[in-house]
Structure 1
């Protein structure tokens, strides 16, 4: 957008744009209908603990984050199975894993405001970005955008940094409970709607639910990250209403069902679990493997690719 001035009509819409925001190719072409189901993966933190150093551990976590984004995963659960974990505490491996996952998922223009500096993130800056639909560039426009509250005051509404040359503004009536530094999902409309609030040039926005881009627009909108101290907590602390309706475990010793014959049926919230070196005795997604072992980052890519046709063919039951 730069600093070039725009000519505006009396109603505030743009009549001329010297440099128009381009519609992001993927972000601005949602499916004709929203997606009602979610896909979660649970990955054992021990895969990070087995890495030889911090740089390799960071690379491994980044590869898993990329796999999650490629296959439209909505939640990544870090299963804290570290043998060195102290009772009631999170292991260093699980904490590192979760920090890198959160760093990768956060849009580039929000990292400074939302991700505090930490030794675990020493090498995170060199990881390849997710380039997900919610990681919009400053030259792109989309119907939704992630932002962080710059300031909020009674009677003024809230000014939100959305990675553009102008802040977005939402009125206090639609704000609910946003504070400075809080991450929000905003509905921005199909084109920029400029306005002037308290003498500041802003873009009009509306507060949206974090699930709106997926449920209403059919857009992939990143994943949430949580740490589960046990298998029981992994299942019981599901953040989705009604809990997981289908759970699938993976193992080279599991059932050998060809992908073309796999039928997951109707589900609303799917959880795919990747265990530690011992695996889980459920579904084999890589037949006749040539290596004695399949690494976690490899298993995730293989399994999600194996499951994708069945996932996309499944329909979410009515709520």
Structure 2
């Protein structure tokens, strides 16, 4: 028996759904991330830790770039595959991801536990929760597999195999559902990942405020107010770029024929007086996004 989708009043309460960052955060990540790991097991663990770090700070898009666009790193595909896998609700993964060598150690990945990955297999009572669903076609009818006991029957056709977001809840004993538009949603629902084949200058064209992270940048102590003012002035997504374990962003930009200071709005050293010789990308992500998250929170209050 299928459950029919139904309208909801505008006054609904969601169990848990943190709001999107404003402005949204996009990050640039090097394609050779974790290339220094000797084994796929270690690579998988580090990529998983990086994805979870991005989710903690509600990053909406991860763009994987190549140090040398003329010699793309094959690790980019592995990063995207694992990121996409982790952002898929656990109850949909078997449908969407067959067993492949890339996902051999997927069982070791940390759970993402984002709002659209509910912890229960049934709608909450007198509340709503966000759920990720998958459109499937049975005969001439269209349904959504949302990880609950019964599929949800749709009134209108949708592309089979496409992911959807929905609210689900049990109100006054009746199951209620509503499909949502991700672009119009005010809540954080996960990370979209893409691979950029061009150079840094090309990918940065669509951003008005661009932050580079580098140990050669201006200390966060000296630039924090400038950073806060710059972020406050934009509504469109801000871009934060990270270097690799081999090369910092200054070296990467120079290798592509650019001056880093000309490409970015500001270059920041988020870890002044670092106590180790090199900081890994995932470590830089935690340090940098902690400060960005603080600045965004302070602007809202």
Q: Which is helix-richer, 1 or 2?
A: 2
Q: Name 1:62's counterpart in structure 2.
A: 48
Asked if 1:270 corresponds to 2:238, the answer is yes
2:219 & 2:176 partners in 1: Cα distance? 53
Report if aligned partners of 1:46, 1:82 keep a CA contact under 8 Å in 2. no
- Counterpart secondary structure, 1:298: helix
2:173 & 2:143 partners in 1: Cα distance? 15
Report if aligned partners of 2:129, 2:167 keep a CA contact under 8 Å in 1. yes
Asked if 1:111 corresponds to 2:93, the answer is yes
Q: Name 2:180's counterpart in structure 1.
A: 208
Per-residue CA deviations over 1:227-246 (Å, capped at 9, x if unaligned) read 0123244335xxxxxx3231
- Counterpart secondary structure, 1:130: coil
- Counterpart secondary structure, 1:133: coil
Q: Name 2:211's counterpart in structure 1.
A: 248
1:98 & 1:233 partners in 2: Cα distance? 20
Gaps of 5+ in 1: 1-11, 13-22, 195-202, 237-242
TM-score (norm 2): 0.77
1:293 & 1:133 partners in 2: Cα distance? 34
Report if aligned partners of 1:193, 1:204 keep a CA contact under 8 Å in 2. no
1:34 & 1:131 partners in 2: Cα distance? 16
Equivalent pairs, count:
265
Gaps of 5+ in 2: 1-5, 7-11, 251-266
Select which of 270, 283, 294 maps to 2:268.
283
- Counterpart secondary structure, 1:135: coil
TM-score (norm 1): 0.73
Asked if 1:224 corresponds to 2:192, the answer is yes
Shift of residue 183 of structure 1? 1.0
- Counterpart secondary structure, 2:34: helix
Shift of residue 144 of structure 1? 3.0
1:30 & 1:109 partners in 2: Cα distance? 19
Per-residue CA deviations over 1:252-291 (Å, capped at 9, x if unaligned) read 1101132863412232201110022332351100010111
Shift of residue 127 of structure 1? 1.1
Higher relative contact order (CA 8 A, sep 6+): 2
